[in-house]
Chain A
Amino acid sequence: MGKAVKIETSPKTWDDIKHTTCYMCACRCGIKVYLKDGTVTYIEGNRDHPVNGGVLCGKGSAGIMQHYSPARLRSPLLRVGPRGSGEFRELEWEEALRLATTWLAQTRNEDPKKLAFFTGRDQSQSLTGFWAIQYGTPNYAAHGGFCSVNMAAAGLYTIGGSFWEFGEPDWENTKYFMLFGVAEEHSSNPLKKQLGKLKERGAKIVSINPVRSGYSAIADEWLGIRPGTDGLFVAALIHELLKSGNVDLDYLQRYANASWLVIDDPEGDEHGLFARDGEDNPLSFDKISQSLKSALLPDIAPALVGEFTLEDGRKAVPAFQLLSQRFLDEGYAPDAVSEHIGISAETVKRIAAELAHTAFKEEISLDIAWTDWAGRTHEKTTGRPVSMHAMRGISAHSNGFHTCRMIHILQVLLGTIDCPGGFRYKPPYPKQTPPWLKPSGKRSGNRLAEPLGGPHLGFPTGPEDLLVNPSGSAQRIDKAFSWEAPLAAHGLMHMVINNAAKADPYPIDVLFLYMANMAWNSSMNVSATLKNLTGTHPDTGEYVIPKVIYSDAYYSETVPYADLILPDTTYLERWDCISMLDRPISEPDSASDAIRHPVVQPDREVRPFQDVLIELGARLGLPEFSNDDGTPTYPGGYPDYLVNHERKPGVGPLTGYRGEDGQSYGVGAPNPEQLDRYIENGCFYQHHLRDEQRFYKHANRDYNDWAVEMGHRMLGDQIIFQLYLEPLQKFRLAAQGKGPDVVPHEHRQRVETYFDPLPIWHMPLEEELAGGEDYPLHAVTQRPMAMYHSWGSQNAWLRQIHGRNWVYVNAGRGEELGIADGDWIWITSAHGKVKAQAKLMDGVNRDTIWTWNAIGKRPGAWNLDPEAPEATKGFLLNHVISELLPERGGYRFSNSDPITGQAAWYDLRVRIEKAAPEEQGKTYPSFEPQKRAAGLRRPPEDVAFKGDKPGGGV
């Protein structure tokens, strides 16, 4: 009988295990890669790693199929047919590099700004940005502008940190956790891991999200809010807390600008700015001495309400009074907002009561002594155990900056920032509010071929920091840091192709892209984007965007639209650095950075993009990439740069194992063995903070002294939460004609309206301009669980899980509209229409439809069968999202947040109707199949992977 069967229970299906860092999404988990005869056989989580602690998501485990994908490019390509034709010739690397160098050198010699270099989902921005500085173009950014710049900017301007990479809840101690607009897959492993623990511990989880999937499905309470109205919901919570006196006044006067006096002088040029003393310190009214004092003094008792007279006779009131007046307004009362947000007033009131109860009745006290910025030691560390996390559902609206600010302010009012149980910063955060870094690249004359004075991206604090010409027009191709998007801290990658095609504000010569699918799911209005990439001058027939260089590892939809392809490796074949100079992998109690290293060697003519960029830098003779004698500064490529590059003396891309003996942390001479030490340590370095440095980092002397020592901050003074955001008022004053700055006519009203120094809720712009009865529904997207970030479509395993997407419609709403499960329906916006197959569900807001993003593919792209479900049934909402808003006042603004330029993907408004019987069965719009590129082979029909290298195809 079978019972006696003898089986092998200790097979060894590997001969080596190497540690590295995952790159199947943006989480940067530690992984262990099992190898046999040089083939990747198994990938699992690294138990010792600070990010994932051993667990691994579906994408991470499917890395093998990503690595052995038949969609991988094989060698450099030069376009030989028209753009879009997919007709290429394979090149040797030398020829490709020579060509790229010629193009880039010519542009640099003529006018460096005519290079637009945008690097997508780049995790090496401290290198790519540095390269662009040396090249001298102001036109550089990564993908943050179409991702979540609203979260980063609103957080950094308000509390000097933000969610996700900047901070996270105190998972160990929080008792009440709110998720706002967090998609089902966001922050994949770290968030899931902690949600499981919160549930085990009995902490309450509340998810505010139009869709009940993923994390929202396991929350204690799901609030199916109407998209774009989260700001109203949060405002109503603040209203209830203020009204009942449930705000932490002591915390506010210590850590926020609550007491800072705001000038009340409506006719004057300084109305709404902070009153300051002769040394530029903001003023408060001290209730002990009954006089005006610098608000920064440690020994005052500042008034939070009242009206005070300044020395020059002008009146001034504390910022907190203005904030309170704003939110005590009955327009923000639960009863006033409930119908609009789709959540009952009783529920809003109850949530406010629960927040108050948890914050003020369940205070935590830890036996940890700490010393504040003024040198006073506190014997205990107390905390209010309410925490929050917010992401794309907040950020991807045109009111996202203000809404995100409101969420942070709610946390500040409850006293929960960087305390036990609250939201906690991850080093190197917090930084100043905002960080002391202004955007560089302002050009007054024709300075050619010179490095920029500093980084491209920064934090303007007034009109004087904008990158605009004397007339007020934009200097950057994406119009970041112009009046169109003054606080565009991550640039506007989504506007580059559109602007370049219109030569607005000027034509460019070379478009250089990395790792972003701009001819498909990363652009709004795909058809127009393709036209822009293929548009020609009527006179000459030349392309309006003359040269396009693109680096991608796969045959994506963007490849056919580029002229020169520099094929990248996979994440398992290259060096990489998750740097403290960029976005490290720190946890609240430790500062961490990490590397990737080649665990396998490429079997084809592909090269890591970072190596290629460094080589191009040397060939171009860029100052920091080539020596005076013309030799390359980093002949060893990216690993050479990682070890030997110093941003300032002793500070380089990696913090661990510095110094000649490898014993220094943070600051120290380059150590030639640094990368070996990282590899020995599992490819990361974790520096643990001391107990007294862990909490109240914004006001913690020991933490801030350390941050200065490490070069994370310039000064170790207190970081003060900005309830009232004075920089916005400076822009508003300029728009009112006060001050020297010229604000172009078309921008004045918009800046005056939206640059409110206190948070406001306003209707999303598309809804205001094209909502109403014609387009009664919201349409939003999220990534599916196993496809967090979108590089997975050619993955043999993942595409069996999510090979096509559906449009999900509220069941009740669908029935009213005569739509049944499986019907093909038209989704029509003011901009266009798309056809998709519907599913009905209860767990979605009544006024909302939703789908998975980036599943729909162009036929033939990613080396898939043109009849693949991704192409025939999968669809993108991008087709019905316009990159420009409807015309207003003779001008069409970018479909973005007016403050930060964040792409407003989720502002989309649509109507739906059942497609005719003859229209069932296939998606619309349809595109010509993408021709298989040179060098790509037909994929294998079946994959039977058993630790060998799967089908190279025929």
Chain B
Amino acid sequence: MTSLPTAEERSGKKLGLVIDLDTCVGCHACAVSCKEWNTQGYSAPLTDVDAYGSDPLGAWLNRIHTYEVATVDDMPNRTVHFPRSCLHCEEPACVTVCPTGASYKRAEDGIVLVNPDTCIGCKLCSWACPYGAREYDPSHGVMKKCTLCVDRIYNEHLEPEARQPACVLACPAGARHYGDLGDPDSAVSKLVAQRDGYDLLPQSGYKPVNKYLPPRPRRTGVEDGAAAEPKVLEPIAKGDGSLSDRFFAWADQVLTR
């Protein structure tokens, strides 16, 4: 068993991601960028077993799933793309279950990490995580997971605007946001408030830091947010005769250039 930082020890900072399911197009840009950065940083390497063979299988810290969601209330049947990675829970069972202390939650920013030097690869943490966010690297016998790019966000060798997780910088659709969810005035906290961001599996009590923004209501009319009544354009009423005749009468205007 590994203990979590106490309330006193915690800084109040809760670094995490806000993922927008409204704009995620499921392109895997975040997943590949994550793999690319993290295969050589803190988590190095993220091994690909049988890389050119019949059953290639590698360790990824972020994966994208695509689902079709049935019609619910006024939301029609839709396709949703769902990126999945560690949520850096406030009460992470993956940490408390760890027999060696290898899994831990940082007091200073809330990031959940695995210490590869003390991880024995027992996989208890992956069983404990209800979100399936941990990946076992068979070639190294240790567990790997999203580090929130802990080796980027504080990296003094990077330009300040680049000190963000690789996935956030790469995301073409702007569907990923990074910041301090412990600060109610942060941009990410405001975004969550404004867009009704939600927790995954709140009933489990792990209090994930990462939030998901639900798809916006789809609109069938041009009025913002409203499903407008079906509309039809009225035919030109002026004049007599066939539709063509009426149209030509309407179009017979003096239009100067």
For B172, what are the chain A residues with a Cβ–Cβ distance below 8 Å? 52, 55-57, 188-189, 192-193, 196
Report Cα–Cα, A786/B34, bound state, in Å.
14
A1 touches B233 (CB 8 A): no
Q: Is A887 close to B, CB under 8 A?
A: no
**Residue B170 interfacial (CB < 8 Å):** yes
- Which residues from A are CB-within-8-Å of B215? 218
**How long is the Cα–Cα vector from A756 to B102 in the complex, in angstroms?**
73
A47 CB, min distance to chain B CBs, angstroms: 7
Smallest CB gap from A252: residue in B = B255
Question: Are B233 and A352 within 8 A (Cβ)?
Answer: yes
The reply to whether B25 and A192 contact each other, CB–CB distance below 8 Å, is yes
B31 to chain A, nearest CB (A): 7
Q: Is B9 located at the chain interface by the 8 A CB criterion?
A: yes
Cβ–Cβ < 8 Å partners of A864 in chain B: 52-53
Which of A73-81, A89-97, A790-798 lies at the binding interface? A790-798
CB atoms of B104 and A253 under 8 A apart: no
Decide yes or no: A7 and B40 within 8 Å by CB, A324-B251, A785-B27, A800-B48 being known contacts: no
B154/A9 in contact, CB under 8 A:
yes
Known: A192-B173, A197-B174, A800-B48. A250 touches B31 (CB 8 A): no
Asked if residues A243 and B247 are in contact (CB atoms below 8 Å), the reply is: yes
Interface membership of A325, Cβ < 8 A: yes
B233 contacts A241, C-beta separation under 8 Å? yes
Stretch of A297-305, A584-592, A596-604 with 4 or more beta carbons under 8 angstroms from chain B? A297-305
Closest to A841 in B: B68
Establish whether residues B33 and A246, one from each chain, have CB atoms under 8 Å apart when the complex forms. no
For residue A62, which residue of chain B has the nearest CB? Answer: B32
Query: Which residue from chain B places its CB closest to the CB of A951 in the assembled complex?
Result: B51
What's the nearest-Cβ distance from chain A to residue B1, in Å?
A: 11
A58 touches B25 (CB 8 A): no
- Determine if B45 is an interface residue (Cβ-Cβ < 8 Å): yes
Residue of A303, A843, A945 near B39 (CB, 8 A) is A945
Of the listed stretches A209-217, A564-572, A629-637, A661-669, chain B binds A209-217
A176 near B222: Cβ-Cβ < 8 Å:
yes
Interchain CA distance A79-B38 in the complex, whole Å: 42
Contact partners of A941 in chain B: CB under 8 A:
49-51, 53
Given A202-B224, A298-B257; A785-B251 close (CB under 8 Å): no
* Contact indicator B57/A349 (Cβ below 8 Å): no
Most buried by B among A45, A47, A242, A794: A242
* Chain A residues whose CB sits within 8 angstroms of the CB of B175 once the complex forms: 196
Q: Which residue of A lies closest to B172 (CB)?
A: A192
B52–A70 touching, CB < 8 Å: yes
Cβ–Cβ contact B79 & A212, under 8 A: yes
Tell me whether A253 and B50 are in contact in the complex, defined as CB-CB below 8 angstroms, given that A11-B151, A800-B57 are known contacts: no
Contact between chains at B45 and A946 (CB < 8 Å): yes
Residues of A within 8 A of B40 (CB): 13, 41-42, 945-947
Q: Which of B117-171 contact A (CB under 8 A)?
A: 118, 139, 150-151, 153-157, 161-162, 166, 169-171
The answer to whether A320 and B251 touch across the interface, beta carbons within 8 angstroms, is yes
Q: Within 8 Å CB of B5, what residues of A?
A: 3
**Closest A-chain residue to B69, C-beta based?**
A842
Among B25, B115, B254, contact of A215 (Cβ-Cβ < 8 Å): B25
Query: A44-B170, A196-B174, A304-B251 known; A240 and B27 CB under 8 Å?
Result: no
Contact B257 A301 (CB under 8 A): yes
Contacts of A799 in B (CB 8 A): 56
In angstroms, Cα B235 to Cα A801, docked, is: 51
* Segment at the B interface, from A431-439, A617-625, A865-873, A900-908: A865-873
Q: Is the CB of B247 within 8 A of A245?
A: yes
Residues on B with beta carbons closer than 8 Å to the beta carbon of A175: 222
Would you list which residues of chain B between 1 and 20 have a CB under 8 Å from chain A? 2-3, 5, 9
Taking the complex as formed, is A726 at the interface, i.e. its CB lies under 8 A from any CB of chain B?
no
Query: A2 near B101 (CB under 8 angstroms)?
Result: yes
Which residue of A193, A302, A349 is within 8 Å of B174 (Cβ)?
A193
User: Which of A777-828 touch B at CB < 8 Å?
Assistant: 785-786, 794, 796-801, 803
CA distance A941 to B53 in the complex (A): 7
State whether B247 touches A61 (Cβ < 8 A).
no
Is there an interface contact between B248 and A301, defined as CB atoms closer than 8 Å?
Answer: no
Q: Which residues of A contact B179 (CB under 8 A)?
A: none
Q: Is the CB of B174 within 8 A of A942?
A: no
Instruction: Judge whether A54 and B169 touch: CB under 8 Å.
Output: yes
Within 8 A of A (CB), among B63-115: 66, 68, 77-81, 98, 101-107, 113, 115
A773 within 8 A of B: no
A350 close to B54 (CB less than 8 A): no
Q: Does B253 contact A (CB under 8 A)?
A: yes
Distance of A51 Cα from B28 Cα, bound (Å): 19
Q: Which of chain A's residues have a CB closer than 8 A to the CB of B113?
A: 2, 5, 7
Interface membership of chain A positions 1-21, coded 1 if the CB is closer than 8 angstroms to chain B and 0 otherwise? 111010111111100000000
A185 CB–B CB distance under 8 Å: yes
B31 in contact with A249 (CB, 8 Å): no
A863 to B53, CA, bound (A): 10
B-side contacts of A794, CB under 8 Å: 52
Do B25 and A218 touch across chains, with their CB atoms under 8 A apart? yes
A318 nearest CB neighbor, chain B only:
B251
Chain A min CB distance to B99 (Å): 12
CA distance A242 to B236 in the complex (A): 9
A185 to B115, CA, bound (A): 38
Chain B residue contacts of A204, Cβ below 8 A: 219, 222
Would you call A354 an interface residue if the criterion is a C-beta within 8 Å of the partner chain's C-beta atoms?
Answer: yes
CB distance from A471 to the nearest CB of B (A): 44
Closest CB-CB distance, B136 to chain A, in whole Å?
Answer: 14
Contact of B222 among A41, A357, A786, A842 (CB under 8 A): A357
Flag whether B198 is at the interface (Cβ < 8 A).
no
Given the contacts A55-B29, A217-B80, A243 and B233 also touching, CB distance less than 8 Å? yes
Q: Please tell me if the beta carbons of A196 and B23 are within 8 angstroms of each other in the complex.
A: yes
* Residues in chain B near residue A202, CB distance under 8 A: 224
Interface residues of B in 208-257 (CB under 8 A from A): 215-216, 218-222, 224, 230-236, 243-244, 247-248, 250-257
Contact A321 B24 (CB under 8 A): no
Q: How far is the CB of B167 from chain A (nearest CB, A)?
A: 10
A216: which B residues are within 8 A, CB to CB?
Answer: 79
Contact with A943, one of B48, B60, B66, B107 (Cβ below 8 angstroms): B48
Q: Is the CB of A305 within 8 A of B26?
A: no
A943-B53 contact in complex given A217-B79, A843-B68, C-beta closer than 8 Å: no
How far is it, in angstroms, between the C-alpha of A61 and the C-alpha of B2 when the chains are bound? 36
Q: Does B182 contact A (CB under 8 A)?
A: no
Judge whether B224 and A240 touch: CB under 8 Å.
no
Q: Shortest distance in angstroms between A952's beta carbon and chain B's nearest beta carbon? A: 13
Residues on A with beta carbons closer than 8 Å to the beta carbon of B150: 7, 9
Cα A60 to Cα B154 with chains together (Å): 25
Counting CB contacts under 8 A, is A184 at the interface? yes
CB pair B102 A61 closer than 8 Å: no
Identity of the chain A residue whose Cβ is nearest the Cβ of B104 in the assembled complex? A2
Q: Does A340 contact B (CB under 8 A)?
A: no
Closest beta carbon of chain B to A382's beta carbon, Å: 16
B44 at the interface (CB under 8 A from A): yes
Given contacts A55-B169, A199-B22, contact A305 B252 (CB under 8 A): yes
B9 near A249 with CB under 8 A, answer no
Shortest A267–chain B CB gap in Å is 24
Interface residues of A in 310-357 (CB under 8 A from B): 320-321, 324-325, 328, 346, 349-350, 352-354, 356-357
- Could you name 5 residue pairs across A and B whose Cβ atoms are closer than 8 Å? A2-B104, A70-B52, A204-B219, A221-B220, A865-B54
Apart from the given pairs A61-B32, A244-B235, A942-B50, 7 other A-B contacts in the complex at a CB distance below 8 Å: A59-B32, A184-B25, A217-B79, A242-B247, A243-B247, A300-B256, A864-B52
Top-6 shortest CB links A-B:
A2-B104, A244-B233, A192-B172, A196-B174, A217-B79, A939-B52
A-to-B contact residues, CB < 8 Å: 1-3, 5, 7-13, 41-45, 47, 52, 54-62, 64, 70, 175-176, 184-185, 188-189, 192-193, 195-197, 199-200, 202, 204, 212-218, 220-221, 240-246, 249-250, 253-254, 287-288, 298-306, 320-321, 324-325, 328, 346, 349-350, 352-354, 356-358, 374, 785-786, 794, 796-801, 803, 841-843, 863-865, 867-869, 872, 939-947
